[in-house]
Amino acid sequence: MTATGNPEKRKILVQLDGDPHPSVFDRVVAIDAGADEVFSYGGVRPEQVAGLVHGAIFTRGPKDLKRTALFIGGSDVSLGEQLLTAARKAMVPQFGLQVSVLLDANGANTTAAAAVRVAARHLSLKEVPALVLGGTGPVGQRVGLLLAHQGAQVRLASRQVSRAAAACQAILARVPDARLEPVGITNNDELRTALADRVLVIAAGAAGVVLLPESVRAACTSLKVAIDLNAVPPLGIEGLQVTDTAVERQGVVCYGAIGVGGTKMKLHRAAVATLFERNDQVLDATEVYALGDQL
């Protein structure tokens, strides 16, 4: 036993998942990222979280609690956010009785962080004119948030401008100096207008839905980087391949969902590994994005 805890204690990741079966994907990544044990709980509801968290924080002493951590997953991102709120509420930080927690429900944080990291390989994001298609979904909102954090000029799109405006308001609440413009897109003319003068486009629309036809993309002369997160055909940006990884098409650097996937996996593993460094971390979209500095 040392002042920093007992290195013999196994690293335990407690997986709280809103789905009936806790994600196998998340369990495998947890092991690959260095967890010795994964305790998986499925069908978790917010009112059940306190009991589960208390089991995690009241067993080991504060010095050893960095060897216990929480992972919040499941396909419902909104439920994941509620589980995170409940988990934070159940901790007792004033006595050091807390554990680090990572939220990555539906892979939304790691996917959004990877997309923006990939864009940053090719562009200085500060001031960059960007369009986020599907900007109201869990991934699109996070992409908008991360781009805004980097100082980009973000046009956030939805089929309904009111939904885009609500998503922009949510981002502004977290990044008060964000430069955001909500847009409603229901036809190719509106899409052309939204894309005009944009240097970066990230498509975060629903799986299997084309949001950017090739003809519209080809007509946009300002575009330099196009990233599509939809892996289910037809793809979100027509003319890209799902495996595109910095493939140049008509002068535009393109990434498909699998092309972004390598960075996403690295961020996911790095985030889980980071949990075991301290017992007071909350890793949400911006914290996961920051981990990309070390990749």
Ligand X SMILES: NC(=O)c1ccc[n+]([C@@H]2O[C@H](COP(=O)([O-])OP(=O)(O)OC[C@H]3O[C@@H](n4cnc5c(N)ncnc54)[C@H](OP(=O)(O)O)[C@@H]3O)[C@@H](O)[C@H]2O)c1
- Residues in touch with ligand X (CB under 6 A): 106-108, 111, 134, 136-140, 158-160, 163, 204-207, 209, 229-231, 257, 261, 264
Compare residues 56 and 200 and give the one whose CB is closer to ligand X: 200
Compare residues 50 and 210 and give the one whose CB is closer to ligand X: 210
* Least Cβ distance, residue 239 to ligand X (angstroms): 17
Q: What are phi and psi of 39, to 5 degrees?
A: -95, 115
Query: Is the separation of the CB atoms in 229 and 260 below 8 Å?
Result: yes
Compare residues 90 and 154 and give the one whose CB is closer to ligand X: 154
Ranked by CB distance to ligand X, the top (closest) residue is 137
Task: Look at the alpha carbons of 286, 287, 290, 291 in this order and tell me if their dihedral is positive or negative.
Answer: negative
* Least Cβ distance, residue 286 to ligand X (angstroms): 17
Identity at 27, one-letter amino acid code: R
Q: H helices of the chain, where?
A: 24-32, 46-57, 77-90, 108-120, 138-149, 161-174, 188-195, 214-218, 257-275, 285-291
Query: Is the separation of the CB atoms in 55 and 4 below 8 Å?
Result: no
Could you tell me which residues are beta bridge partners of residue 92?
Answer: 97
* Least Cβ distance, residue 25 to ligand X (angstroms): 8
Identity at 188, one-letter amino acid code: N
In whole angstroms, what separates CA 112 from the centre of its chain?
4
* Least Cβ distance, residue 261 to ligand X (angstroms): 6
Query: Is the separation of the CB atoms in 220 and 245 below 8 Å?
Result: no
* Least Cβ distance, residue 42 to ligand X (angstroms): 19
Could you tell me which residues are beta bridge partners of residue 73?
Answer: 17
In whole angstroms, what separates CA 274 from the centre of its chain?
16
In whole angstroms, what separates CA 76 from the centre of its chain?
13
Compare residues 111 and 279 and give the one whose CB is closer to ligand X: 111
Q: Which helix (H) or strand (E) holds 227?
A: strand 225-228
Compare residues 11 and 142 and give the one whose CB is closer to ligand X: 142
Could you tell me which residues are beta bridge partners of residue 103?
Answer: 72
Compare residues 56 and 77 and give the one whose CB is closer to ligand X: 77
* Least Cβ distance, residue 160 to ligand X (angstroms): 6
Compare residues 82 and 98 and give the one whose CB is closer to ligand X: 82
Compare residues 111 and 274 and give the one whose CB is closer to ligand X: 111
* Least Cβ distance, residue 229 to ligand X (angstroms): 4
Q: Are strands 225-228 and 200-203 parallel, antiparallel or unpaired?
A: parallel
* Least Cβ distance, residue 183 to ligand X (angstroms): 11
